[in-house]
Amino acid sequence: MPSKPPVTGTTSADVRSDRLVSLDALRGFDMFWIMGGEGIVQAGAEVFGWSWLIWLEGQMHHPEWHGFKFYDLIFPLFLFIAGVSMPLSFEKRLHRGDTKSQLTRHVIIRGLILVLLGMIYNGLLKFNWPDTRLPSVLGRIGLAYLFAGLIVLNTKWRSQIVWVVGLLVGYWAALKFIPVPGFGAGDLEPGHTLTDYVDRMLIPGKLYKEVRDPEGVFATIPAIGTALMGALTGQFLKNENRGGYFKTAVMVVVGLICLALAQLWNRDFPINKNLWSSSFVLQCAGWSLLFLSLFYLVIDVWRLRRWAFFFVVIGMNSIFIYMAVAFIDFSFTTHRLFDGLLKHTGEYETLLFEIAFVIMKWLLLYVMYRKRIFLRV
């Protein structure tokens, strides 16, 4: 259903509102890199050669196996934000009269719709079953959201912490001690892990890397932990007994603790997005908390919001713009509209095209924003 866009200017209203604008802005910031931000950075690094741009461009790639780059954070940050939104959404629905059974049905339906959208994004409607890849980014978000939502609806925050610890430790123990046919136990080489083996046994169709898939089924287990850590953060943020500065400080401290624990665990269970390793969960939770603390402080505590409007527009329709690229040729449209203007810009042509490419997408989202058209799942 269409909903009223958030206020974009500063205001003297109370810090707490029905909607945390910082969440929409951070979600939009996250999606910005997927919808073309990486292309702008890569083109800018090539044109200007500035050291900081070259460093940032180096962060715009996933490591092939172990390791961590900024680009690895985009997916788990989105899932973490979905977790943060979860208790806020549940509270709003309960306040308007929804029952727990209705919320449960909503969580299940939403999770399954995301799984279906992910398969459609990967070409399900082409009906080429042997070559269709069923695992997807949206599919993992959907399943992790579904199971995390059921846990949140049926437990208190202390039990949710136990769930997080159990999921992460259990996943580590499974990969460490359960033998894989042909490779034994504890082998973390690509294609040799228990995660890869289970995915090969359970997932029909095509795997992204033939013998493994970074969005497979088994690694959804620790991804539930990512969503739950977000949900715990959301429950903390909606506590009216704590002020904005206190909440910001706690998120910073917990974020730093998560990063430290991630580095410690990295020695035995390497930070690895492909496996969604337990150390990777802590690494991403740490950075997610630090980013959220910054956005929350500036946008919802200091009420400085105008600068974030660009990201809010993206964040309010993040699922739509993610799915749109599967059906709309934005590159073709950008070429048709701007090639005549850009062909005389010399070495800046690629950079200006990448900027125009993002602007085309943003303008579509802006029109939808103004018309209050939001894709809700």
Backbone angles phi, psi at 180, to 5 degrees: -105, 130
In angstroms, rounded to a whole number, what is the distance separating the alpha carbons of residues 326 and 223?
25
Domain edges within the chain: 21-370
**pLDDT classification of 18: cutoffs 50, 70, 90:** low
Helices (H), 122-219: 137-154, 157-177, 194-202
In angstroms, rounded to a whole number, what is the distance separating the alpha carbons of residues 327 and 121?
9
In angstroms, rounded to a whole number, what is the distance separating the alpha carbons of residues 220 and 340?
47
**pLDDT classification of 161: cutoffs 50, 70, 90:** very high
At residue 126, the pLDDT reads: 81
Structure tokens at 173: 């123990």
List own/partner pairs for 234-240 with CB under 8 A and 24 or more apart.
Answer: 234/83, 234/84, 234/85, 234/86, 234/87, 234/88, 235/87, 235/157, 237/20, 237/84, 237/88, 237/296, 238/16, 238/87, 238/88, 238/91, 240/16
Statement: residue 118 has pLDDT above 60: yes
Tokens 């998120």 correspond to 251
Average pLDDT over residues 302-329: 94
At residue 177, the pLDDT reads: 97
Residues 54-104 have pLDDT tens digits of 999 999 999 999 999 999 999 999 999 999 999 999 999 999 999 999 999
Statement: residue 219 has pLDDT above 70: yes
**pLDDT classification of 3: cutoffs 50, 70, 90:** very low
In angstroms, rounded to a whole number, what is the distance separating the alpha carbons of residues 225 and 165?
8
In angstroms, rounded to a whole number, what is the distance separating the alpha carbons of residues 221 and 175?
12
Please give the C-alpha separations between residue 373 and each of 29, 36, 286, 317, in angstroms, as whole numbers.
Answer: 20, 22, 33, 8
pLDDT more than 90, % of the chain? 81
At residue 376, the pLDDT reads: 80
Higher pLDDT, 149 or 4: 149
